[in-house]
Structure 1
């Protein structure tokens, strides 16, 4: 289903696309920014909202915390909006203090995407970023397919560029599986099979070190709540005013992350072919959208600021290559309070 959602300042129409699966999963996606405005799971005849969303287009145009947006060309920060490749210095737009964040002011999350294909349970959006936009080299053709299958939301990025360019997209929904903003998102149980993380400097730029999570607040290898796991005196937690860190997945990790709300009984399994996930606990929402409560972001991607760190996995898309990244969010519902093991069994 497709309906009008408002008009951009330049007169272009924004549409809301509603997708439904045959097992009670429903998604609302905006053509502006590919925003996941709503995601609901039928839990025993009651729809449970799973992500945070805003009421109307003016609210999204004013939003500065990337609620539900597609992120690209690159997720995370690129230090000082600058990197070198093949002996040439490239300068990107600055939109986060002294740095470049989430593709800049003209990135995926601020674009009006074209509807290329649509069905009851899927939609394919496309957009073109021209050479030099936000400082990136090359004309980039990108598409994103959203597809509901049973109780899973699948997202697939594909892209090609005619010049070597940094490319590492991700997705930015804020999850509170409790379905109730009065229930703290930090009380959700989280498991991430990551044995390392990337320490940050005071401006949230990776230092270049890949550190072990052992005996740190970044060890989520066993399910625990962020509220219980954190150490607010840890230097890295102090700098980020909470979690805003890249967790590096273990080589034998079977998925990116698992999340469970004892309050609602809803569980999520997040899978992707990305090597890492940025875990952000949504602390900026307190000031920008206090009525929403908090949600946690789990952003599958490569290493932030990779073009400036030779020791990080390469994040340059070469001309002629086709980029593919897949993300899948699988949900299940059990009786509230049943426990982690029962929730994980329901996700199989």
Structure 2
């Protein structure tokens, strides 16, 4: 297994490399220095290895990708309304890359930048990027390091950052998961469990309205595991606005368990842990148009609240000088087997 290989070149001639961590007969990942992209994540399944995330064939395809497949997201994951905010009495105008709004860091964000490899071992990869003041409209010079590590049956991602002037900062990760490992199996057949008590309702442009709505009795209640496609009510006004799921779920306070996912087709299950207060659930409904034939997947993005710089009632997502930033996202995999009931899956994932 090659630990480093070429992943093609960008149109401007820059060479992109893929870095492998983990072992071929177990959990292993390929990560690009372009955007810190998780291009492949292979896990053991009931019938052999399973490709757990959707991927593209070469570097330029990722650079041109409108769906943000696998990227490290920043400076700010999700949306900032009107592509502007005020901070400490100063107005800031950001790059508007989704209509009038700012999405996932702007025109290039973190996901179309070449990151510097600072460490690469058999089980770990560390990448660094310096985001200069003014990039995409953000204040302050930001230094961010992303550390990937394969730890037994888990892939761990740690963000560490510091800044020399106050700035919004809400990094997250954007892989599309389909644990079936078969592009012919809809991602909506996976069973999803999220310990979220609330959801942030959105306006037609997907900017939060500013309050938390209880999930009880809605399409957003995944406290008990259910297939994504079975839980979705097409008559729900919020589902109609987004054409499916593209909503931030507010997690139970004090819990680090973010979500669990299980494919009855492959027998593979995944548990996500993070200390973020929320997780964006995106059902991938735009993928058939953006990447015909790729198959589909869903995103589970641990994060702070979207549009928090403009929403005084939301928890702050401002990073200030002298305050070190650290956030870890852990993806732990298991294989309880095909067509198991949720109680067995939950036991294997340590949810009970």
Which one of the candidate residues 55, 68, 86 is aligned to 1:53?
55
The answer to whether the 8 A contact 2:92-2:137 is kept is yes
> Which residue in the other structure is 1:327 paired with?
329
State the distance in 2 between where 1:257 and 1:179 align.
Answer: 19
Match of 2:22 in 1: 20
Question: Which residues in structure 2 correspond to 1:65-144 (within 5 Å)?
Answer: 65-144=67-146
Does the alignment pair 1:163 with 2:165? Answer: yes
5+ residue gaps, structure 2: none
Q: Runs ≥4 in structure 1, deviation > 3 angstroms?
A: none
The one of 198, 204, 207 aligned to 1:205: 207
Q: For residue 32 of structure 1, what is the aligned residue in structure 2? A: 34
Alignment partners' CA distance in 2, 1:254 and 1:127? 27
Give, in whole Å, the separation in 2 of the partners of 1:254 and 1:85: 29
Aligned to 1:302: 304
1:178-210 C-alpha deviation (Å, 9 max, x unpaired): 111111100100010000010000000001011
- Residue from 330, 336, 342 that aligns with 2:344: 342
Superimposed CA distance per residue, residues 152-177 of structure 1 (whole angstroms, 9 cap, x where no aligned partner): 00000001110000000000000000
Offset at residue 45 of structure 1 (A): 6.8
Aligned-pair CA distance for 1:85? 1.1
Q: 5 Å matches for 1:111-260?
A: 111-260=113-262
Work out whether residues 21 and 150 of structure 1, in 8 Å CA contact, stay in contact via their aligned partners in 2: no
Is there any run of 5+ residues in structure 1 with no aligned partner, and where?
none
**Offset, 1:106:** 2.7
CA shift at 1:88, angstroms?
1.3
| CA distance, structure 2, for counterparts of residue 173 and residue 185 of structure 1 | 13
CA distance in 2, matches of 1:21, 1:240: 39
* Pairing of 1:277-296 with structure 2 (within 5 A): 277-296=279-298
Q: Aligned partners of 1:284, 1:135: CA distance in 2, in Å?
A: 27
* Conserved? CA contact 2:36–2:115, under 8 Å: yes
The Cα shift of 1:11 comes to 2.7
Distance 1:346 1:48 in 2: 18
Q: CA RMSD of the aligned region, Å?
A: 1.2
Conservation of the 8 A alpha-carbon contact between 1:75 and 1:102: yes
Tell me how far apart the structure 2 counterparts of residues 208 and 23 of structure 1 sit (CA, whole Å).
47
- Greater shift after overlay, 289-298 or 336-345? 336-345
Partner Cα distance (1:143, 1:248) in 2: 26
> Does the aligned pair in 2 maintain the 1:21–1:151 contact within 8 Å?
no
Contact 2:256 2:275 in 1 (8 A): no
Bigger shift: residues 2-11 or 191-200: 2-11
Task: Provide the C-alpha distance between the structure 2 equivalents of 1:266 and 1:138, rounded to a whole number of angstroms.
Answer: 42
TM-score w.r.t. length of structure 2? 0.97
Do the aligned partners of 2:193 and 2:222 also contact (CA within 8 Å) in 1? Answer: yes
Shift of 1:338: 2.2
C-alpha spacing 1:268/1:78, structure 2 compared with 1 (3 Å): same
Local SS of the residue matching 1:110: coil
